[in-house]
Chains A and B, each alone.
Chain A
Amino acid sequence: MSNEVQLDPEVIAAALQFLEDWHVEPHSVEVPFINWGYGFGGRIDLIGTWFAGGPPDLVGRTILLDWKFRETKPDQKITYWPDYVINLAGYGVGYFDRLPYKLLEECDLVSVVVSVNEPGRYEFKVWELSEVEQAWLEFYADLQAWFVAKKYDPREGPHGNDENDEDE
């Protein structure tokens, strides 16, 4: 099976348009991380800063962004599924190693939906603290259930133990 797919440059342009329209300055993209304290990892799509000209109440804050490239329906509102914020909560808490109430003092978790069938269309949502707190609890519970079901907790391995030693 071929691993090649056709991409529409207008979709890519719409993603960049979001950054320009809302004055987001990217610092890093596709950032992999491991949080040994919690025992999981991930890859963040983009970390940046809202700069002058962006949403007035967010200028100067850090933005942790998750792209969602998906089909949309013309004239219909975009649905932001709970999975979006659950994953973002994992990325934010995992990367910055701060619980939501502390994390969101300086950082915004943002889902940007870019339409793959309506050229140029994008929309975004900045998640509220109450949504991120609920999402983190769900993610944390899922993670603990995974450790139990798989009978494997990476925090008990050599890396996890190193981190525990430092904590003591």
Chain B
Amino acid sequence: MSTLIRVPPPDTSRHYYVEDDGRVVPFYEIEYADKKRKGEFRPVKITDARKHNAVPSVNQSRSRIRKPAIERWRIAKYLEEGLTFPFGDRSIDECIPEIIENVDAALDAAPSLGTAYHAAVAEVIMAKWPGVSNE
């Protein structure tokens, strides 16, 4: 049995925070200035952060740092897929784009899954312990 849950866009771990009426809120999307794209949103850029006096998140402020463990993990995922891929009669060159695509899709999904579990667990805790807040 599984539960379906809607999650924020991928890679929202690298974002900013702003104060809005004294409340701290995450800041990862902003509406396009172009009137033709009213109602559409794009990721926050550093120029937006400056304009809104936003602070970087813990993850954002570490985004420039190489993370060898994560790099090794990503390489291992590509190797695993390559070594178990059903090549059939196709050559390695023919299959490489599909192998990369498969792994990219899985890696893109990983942060979303973590975000979704975080949200779900928080929701269950707040239901189970009524005094628990998220402020």
Binding site for B on A (CB under 8 A): 3-9, 11-12, 15-16, 19, 25-36, 39-43, 45-46, 67-70, 79, 81-83, 86-87, 90-91, 94, 114, 116, 139, 142-143, 145-146, 149-150, 152, 154, 157-160
In Å, the complex CA distance between A77 and B56 comes to 33
With A30-B134, A142-B62 known, 11 other A-B pairs at CB within 8 A are A5-B113, A6-B2, A28-B133, A31-B135, A34-B24, A39-B55, A40-B55, A41-B16, A67-B117, A139-B58, A146-B62
A83 touching B67 in the complex, CB below 8 Å, given contacts A5-B7, A5-B113, A146-B61: yes
Q: What residue of chain B has the Cβ atom nearest to residue A145's Cβ?
A: B64
Measured between beta carbons, the chain B residues less than 8 angstroms from A81 are: 69
In Å, the complex CA distance between A154 and B61 comes to 12
Measured between beta carbons, the chain A residues less than 8 angstroms from B119 are: 30
Query: Do B24 and A90 touch (CB < 8 A)?
Result: no
Tell me what chain B mostly uses at the interface: helix, strand, loop, or mixed. Answer: mixed
In Å, the complex CA distance between A63 and B69 comes to 26
A44 CB → nearest B CB, Å: 10
Query: Do B124 and A41 touch (CB < 8 A)?
Result: no
Query: Do A142 and B117 touch (CB < 8 A)?
Result: no
The CB with the most chain A CB atoms within 10 A, among B58, B67, B118, B133, is that of: B58
